[in-house]
């Protein structure tokens, strides 16, 4: 007899469970550690989507698992982009919300030495509470944190869909990863674990708008992950205008946390700096940025601003972008300027989800009187 054992997607997903948690649960159930490890193998290695595929487990055990757990809580709702370019996946969550995850094949100069890698830009929250003035993700405010399973499933769904392995992960999608700290840290453990997704810690980057206390906490994690800081302003007056988080954690506190990070870690920090015309693109900012980066031996990624419908910000001219970069390079700071095509859909993360949720009437149009469209 074939029993359909596809559990309700609202049950907790086994994809968010660690091997230790399963071992403990199986011990309580009177099952062996060997059985627990078989389940881990089915979940993370073989990536089965129904419990009846777990053919080396008894029917009783499969039924018990199926009653309490699911194996997927998300579905792929749409994919934009083509095979050779950046592909943007819109995932539908069990509560009808949407998140975006972006696959960047052969990532051009995201991190120089990794040009041959497939990078996945994952989301950590639905919406964002930090209200950076230039960003689409925060336009409709904050809805909720993603669960551990919803973070892991972004990788699993994309790998299943494209038939390729992801080998580099950046938490640069929607949301502020450090505001979802406990789910983030558990997801990092599962993404890295040899029994889990198996991605090297050095190939995972957490990007933050600058939550100083959580940066210090993250520094204590026993994983050599990379840290990227969305700086976007080299002085408090500029940063205050575009990133409200700076009023809570001004640069002096942020840099104290970064000093703590660098005292514990070998990996260099990356500063992300979006160039926005007339806002933060002055060469005075470039000089202060250069000295800050130099002191921490940090890398700088300059990103010409990607326009977001409904927001007035623009990118500066290419000559100004080059002049800004020159200041950093002359100061001896390793700097990249990402200008390539296709990055538009990656950096403007949040817009596709806004469009979808607005159309379905889940949220009001984020900008009164204006429809959100995707600039791709």
Residues making contact with ligand SAH (CB under 6 A):
132, 134-135, 172, 176, 207-209, 230, 272, 274, 303, 305-306, 308, 347-348
Distance CA 65, CA 70 (A): 8
Task: Please give the angle made by the CA atoms of 32, 34 and 35, to the nearest 5 degrees.
Answer: 70
- Specify whether the CB–CB gap between 116 and 101 falls below 8 A: no
Task: Please give the angle made by the CA atoms of 345, 99 and 302, to the nearest 5 degrees.
Answer: 35
Cβ closest to ligand SAH, residue 229 vs residue 286: 229
Regarding beta strands 270-275 and 226-230, do their DSSP bridges make them parallel or antiparallel, or are they unpaired?
parallel
Cβ closest to ligand SAH, residue 31 vs residue 176: 176
Q: How many residues does the structure list for the chain?
A: 376
Q: How far is the CB of 56 from ligand SAH (least distance, A)?
A: 41
Q: Which residues pair with 72 in a beta bridge?
A: none
Distance CA 349, CA 367 (A): 16
When computed from its CA atoms, the radius of gyration of the chain, rounded to whole angstroms, is 21
Cβ closest to ligand SAH, residue 208 vs residue 262: 208
Joined together, the tokens standing for residue 355 give 């469009």
Q: How far is the CB of 252 from ligand SAH (least distance, A)?
A: 19
- Specify whether the CB–CB gap between 178 and 214 falls below 8 A: yes
Cβ closest to ligand SAH, residue 177 vs residue 196: 177
Q: How far is the CB of 232 from ligand SAH (least distance, A)?
A: 6
Joined together, the tokens standing for residue 141 give 């405010």
Q: How far is the CB of 303 from ligand SAH (least distance, A)?
A: 5
Out of 121, 135, 349, 357, the active site residue is 349
Spatial CB neighbours of 196, under 8 Å, sequence gap ≥ 6: 18, 19, 44, 189, 190
Distance CA 227, CA 204 (A): 9
Out of 31, 100, 153, 176, the active site residue is 100
Number of H helices, E strands in the chain: 13, 12
Q: Which residues pair with 144 in a beta bridge?
A: 126
Spatial CB neighbours of 4, under 8 Å, sequence gap ≥ 6: 50, 52
Q: How far is the CB of 119 from ligand SAH (least distance, A)?
A: 13
100 is catalytic: yes
318 is catalytic: no
Cβ closest to ligand SAH, residue 135 vs residue 215: 135
Cβ closest to ligand SAH, residue 39 vs residue 274: 274
Q: How far is the CB of 206 from ligand SAH (least distance, A)?
A: 8
Helix (H, G, I), strand (E, B) or coil at 367: strand
The residues carrying an active-site annotation are: 100, 349
């Amino acid at each position: 007899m074939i029993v359909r054992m596809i559990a309700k997607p609202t049950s907790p997903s086994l994809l968010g469970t660690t091997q230790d948690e399963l071992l403990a649960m199986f011990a309580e159930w009177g099952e062996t550690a060997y059985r627990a490890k078989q389940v881990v193998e089915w979940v993370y290695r073989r990536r089965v989507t129904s419990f009846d595929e777990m053919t080396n487990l008894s029917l009783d055990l499969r039924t018990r698992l199926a009653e309490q757990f699911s194996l997927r809580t998300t579905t792929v709702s749409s994919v934009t982009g083509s095979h050779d370019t950046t592909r943007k996946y819109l995932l539908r969550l069990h509560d009808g919300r949407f998140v975006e995850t972006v696959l960047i094949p052969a990532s051009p100069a995201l991190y120089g030495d990794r040009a041959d890698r497939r990078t996945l830009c994952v989301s950590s929250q639905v919406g964002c509470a930090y209200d950076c003035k230039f960003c689409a993700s925060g336009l409709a405010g904050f809805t909720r944190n993603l669960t551990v399973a919803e973070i892991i499933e972004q990788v699993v769904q994309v790998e299943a869909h494209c038939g390729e392995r992801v080998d580099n992960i950046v938490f640069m999608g929607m949301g502020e990863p450090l505001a979802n700290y406990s789910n983030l840290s558990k997801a990092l453990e599962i993404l890295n674990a040899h029994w889990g997704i198996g991605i090297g810690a050095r190939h995972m980057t957490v990007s933050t708008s600058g939550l100083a206390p959580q940066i210090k906490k993250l520094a204590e994690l026993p994983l050599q992950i990379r840290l990227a800081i969305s700086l976007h302003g080299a002085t408090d007056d500029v940063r205050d205008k575009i990133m409200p988080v700076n009023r809570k954690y001004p640069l002096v506190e942020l840099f104290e946390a970064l000093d703590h990070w660098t005292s514990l870690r070998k990996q260099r920090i990356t500063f992300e700096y979006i160039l926005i015309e007339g806002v933060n693109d002055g060469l005075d900012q470039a000089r202060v940025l250069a000295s800050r980066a130099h002191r921490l031996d940090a890398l700088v990624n300059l990103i010409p601003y990607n326009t977001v419908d409904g927001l007035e910000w623009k990118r500066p001219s290419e000559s100004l972008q080059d002049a800004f970069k020159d200041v950093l390079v002359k100061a001896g700071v390793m700097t990249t300027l990402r200008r390539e095509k296709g990055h538009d859909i990656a950096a403007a993360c949040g817009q596709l989800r806004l469009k979808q949720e607005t159309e379905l009437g889940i949220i009001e149009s984020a900008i009164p009187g204006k429809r959100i469209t995707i600039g791709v």
